[in-house]
Structures are given as C-alpha cells and as structure tokens.
Amino acid sequence: MGLFTLPTVALFILLTLSLTFVHGGIPTTLDGPFKPVTVPLDKSFRGNAVDLPETDPRVQRIVKGFEPEQISVSLSGTHDSVWISWITGEFQIGDNIEPLDPKTVSGVVIYGRYGFPMTNRSTGNNSLVYNQLYQFEGLQNYTSGIIHHVRLAGLIPNTLYQYQCGDPSIPAMSRVSYFKTMPVSGPKSYPSRVAVVGDLGLTYNTTSTVDHLLANRPDLLLLVGDVSYADLYLTNGTGSDCYSCSFPHTPIQETYQPRWDYWGRYMQPLVSKVPIMVVEGDHDIEQQAGNQTFVSYSSRFAFPSEESGSSSTLFYSFNAGGIHFIMLGAYTAYNKSADQYMWLEKDLANFDRNVTPWLVATWHPPWYSTYVAHYREAECMRVEMEDILYKYGVDIVFNGHVHTYERSNRVYNYTLDPCGPVYITVGDGGNREKMAIAHADEPGNCPEPCTTPDKLMGGFCAFNFTSGPAAGKFCWDQQPEYSAYRESSFGHGILEVKNETHALWSWHRNQDLYGDAGDQIFIVRQPDSCPVTANVTQNN
C-alpha cells in the first residue's frame, strides 16, 4: 500500500472539492495582504447625480387623511422583536405652522405569521411630532406628520410575518406587508445577505443603487450615514450639490425637511419589507434653534438603544444571527471619558463570542481612506477608539462619507496586521455631491494638515507618520500598502456570512449587471491565531 489508504484519499479529494466549491476561485484574506490595486476611472459612466424632483410620482404623497405612509421595519436588540415605524398626517412648512397632536391618532400593528390569520396586535406609546425651527427671519419652519414606532415582541426566528399598521378606529390602515425575522443568534445561524450602502440621498443614481440592491434580495439593510441630504437645500426648497459654494452667507446651514418625507416615500417599498439599521452621518446633523441636532434622524427611525444599554440614538448595538453589530457615532463625544466610550467598553465586554462569532463595527467617516476628500479627517476618533476595537477583535468595519469604494488589507495603526479588521468604505450610494476621485498619494494631491480637521468632530490628531513607508510625511508617495482595492463608482455591497470563520463580501457597481461583482473576497476569521486578548500597541 502507498502512504494513503483509499478512504483517506477519498476524504482528501472530497475536502479539496469542498474548499474549491466554497471559495469558487474567489480570493480570501488568508491570501493577503494584497498588492494595492487602483481601478482607473470609468469616464463613460458618471451616472445622473441629480435629485428626484418633488413632482416625481415615487416621492409624492399618495395616501389620504391619516392613512400610513413611509412605513419601515427595523430590528430590536435580538431576533424576537422588531420595530414598525410609519407616519400619519401631512407635514407643514412655512411661517405659521401648527403641529399635529400625536394623541389624536393611535399607532397599532396587527400581525401574524405568513399563511395564518393576523391575530396579534401591538399598540405603541411612542408617537411623536418633531419640528425643525429657525430663529432667523425669512427661514421657513417645519413640523412633521405624526411618527409612530411600535415594537413587536415574542417573534419566532427566521420566520415570515405579515402585518398592517395604522389606526383601525378611524379606520386608516395600511395594506398588508411582510418582513422576515432574523435567525436566532448562534455560531451556525446567519442572515443570508446583508446589504451595505452609504451616503444614499435621493438622486437618479440612488434609484439605480436601490434597484441593484433589491435584485440581490437582502435580509437586512445597513445604511452607514447620510440619509436624505435635506441639508443641501434652503428652507424654500432651493438646492445645490455644494451648499457652502452656493449659499456661503446663510446664518445657519438650512435644511428642506420635506426631502426626508420624499426619501421615506421612495424607500417604503424596500424598507417596509427589509429591516433597515441606520447610523448617523454629518448630513444628518441639521442644527436648528436651541442648538438642537439630529432631530429628524432620531425621530424618524427606531433604534434598539435602550435594548442595548445605550443612552443615545447615535450609538447602539444589535444582533443579527451570529453577527454582533456595533453602530458608533462620530459626531458625538467618543473620547475615553465619554458616555459612548464607556458604553462601548461594556458592550464589548458582555457580548458572547461563542454565540455571535462575528463582530462588525460601523460609523460614518472612515479612519483608513486614501482619497483627498476627508483625508485623515477622523484621526482623533481613531486615536481614541482603535485600540479597544482591535483588542476585542473586530472583524469588519463599514464606513461611508468618502463618496467612493475602497477595501483595505487587515490593518491596525496604519500597519499591516493579520489580526486587524478589514475596513470597507461604501460611501457611493448615489447622492448629489460629487464623487471622490483624487487620491492623496498622487503628486500634488497631499492636503495641508491644517485643512484636514473636521469642525464637526473637533480636535487635530493627524500628524506626520513616525514610522513605516510614510515616515516623516503626511501622505504616502504611492497607494498605501494597507489599501487593497479602490475604485470611484456608484454601488452597494452584500455581506454573506457562511459560517463561524468565512464571510463573502461582494461590491456591486451600478453600471454592471445585477449579478456581477466589481470586487469580491472571502473575509476569513482566525480566532485561534487572533484571540481577543491580543496585545495592543501604542499609536504613532
């Protein structure tokens, strides 16, 4: 006999075929770190980054009276509960507005498992109206319709439900819609597809992105900041793709709040069926009278803040099967003495890696981006938070803000590290601002350090590098080694977690066929090689 027995040979062949089938020739992070790749700009496709007008039938109000509109589903902390949100009544904008009384319309959801009578009923006490008010003469104020958030509890995992929402006493109820609950949290239990998109807005490019996204049949939608871009408009409805260029002398950055309503109407066919989880971006700040911020963002979406122990809608966590998602806020205090950081420490210390092996973090502005736009803008946040994310073994980080696509090699503290996260920027959803094209490492493109701090984030931490290929410099002289792939194009991504160690990431460009991927890789966890107690080094 030779070295192998027949059963051993058969087992070897079966294992080889199995690995070939699983990977299908797609590279894995174990094959890296990869040499940096820059895909040349496709000048033939620039899309149509023009906002949908209010006359577009997809954004017009088609309901009557207090019938529900802008219906959406979002997840609670675990699989057995979800939030149903909707709006009843019309918004008002102008000088003399009279807010609706939330107590005048009930928020009721009637629901049941698909194929069975809808005998369950949940009534919420979270109805509200929000205002966007300005103290400056000539600016128009806004008051919303009545926003309802109703939590459904005691749900069965991985199950299709049907529901109607509204006020049956009027009667004013929605049509029947459907959602599917997340699978139970466990190491072998995952949602099939998680769609990830950032900086969406409401342009004709947005519609292309959403059409492509729908074709990929997601179970969950992750929106990594910058939702409606209502703040690119004056309160009279005049808009621009560069607010500061077109309106440099306004006393406050105005917003045209009806754009939020248009966005909610357009997105309803998707988010009334597919749960949406949102984290705030800079365009969602929307300062108003009394220095209030994030009022529309915090009012229109339901967040599992309380369920995850957070005191704010700006940072929270939730589980989706065996994935633990951490949603962090870049535009609220993130230093080590702040509420957010203390919440993060507690959340990371308490989640069970045996139940949710995958740890995914999300916030809006990227720490690792090689584009001139927003270059090293979030450096102070990285200095404060990178160590703890590395210590607890975050697997993947999703960001937006930079209007392009970029995927990193595994990196920590600007150094290639097999235990560092893979950072993915997907700020290419399709909003009306210009796409990021210029790279900071190209000749003449390196910005002056003093121009990089973001006044919305505070502080200056982006000093010259002290070690590595860019030692003594503010920018690399070539595409940094941590940058594996970058391309300027509109699109979205799909994350498919296969098991405890393998997740397939696919990025889809709007100009391609639905099934094609512009970038694709298996992200592989190595829990034995990268325990969560990994040593943490000091920042440069």
The CA angle 212-374-343, to the nearest 5 degrees, is 85
Question: What integer pLDDT is reported at residue 14 of this predicted model?
Answer: 38
Residue 13 has pLDDT above 80, yes or no: no
Question: What integer pLDDT is reported at residue 45 of this predicted model?
Answer: 64
Report percent pLDDT > 90 for the chain. 87
Residue 18 has pLDDT above 50, yes or no: no
Question: What integer pLDDT is reported at residue 43 of this predicted model?
Answer: 76
> Which pTM was predicted?
0.93
Residue 7 has pLDDT above 70, yes or no: no
What is the β-pairing status of strands 146-152 and 82-88?
antiparallel
Cβ atoms < 10 Å from Cβ of 1:
5
Residue 291 has pLDDT above 90, yes or no: yes
Residue 24 has pLDDT above 50, yes or no: yes
Question: What integer pLDDT is reported at residue 244 of this predicted model?
Answer: 93
Question: What integer pLDDT is reported at residue 434 of this predicted model?
Answer: 85
Report percent pLDDT > 70 for the chain. 93
Q: Is 246 helix (H, G, I), strand (E, B) or coil?
A: helix
Buried-exposed string 373-407: b where 16+ CB fall within 10 A, e elsewhere: bbbbbbbbbbbbbbbbbbebbbbbbbbbbbbbbbb
What is the β-pairing status of strands 172-173 and 160-167?
antiparallel
Question: Would residue 439 show up in a list of annotated catalytic residues for this protein?
Answer: no
Tokens of 482: 């941590």
Kindly list the structural domains of the chain, giving each domain's residue range(s) and its CATH number in brackets, ordered by start.
Answer: 29-524 (3.60.21.10)
C-alpha 480 chain-centroid distance: 25
Question: What integer pLDDT is reported at residue 329 of this predicted model?
Answer: 98
Residue 8 pLDDT grade (very low, low, confident, very high; cuts 50, 70, 90): very low
Residue 120 pLDDT grade (very low, low, confident, very high; cuts 50, 70, 90): very high
Closest alpha carbon to 84 in 117, 48, 123: 123
**Residue 33: cis peptide before it, omega within 30 degrees of 0:** yes
Residue 471 pLDDT grade (very low, low, confident, very high; cuts 50, 70, 90): very high
From the list 149, 324, 374, 439, the catalytic residue is: 374
Question: What integer pLDDT is reported at residue 46 of this predicted model?
Answer: 61
pLDDT tens string 129-168: 999 999 999 999 999 999 999 999 999 999 999 999 999 9
Which of 338-342, 392-396, 465-469 is least confident?
465-469
As a whole number, the mean pLDDT across the chain is 92
Residue 99 has pLDDT above 70, yes or no: yes
CA-CA distance, 461 to 471, in Å (whole number)?
Answer: 16
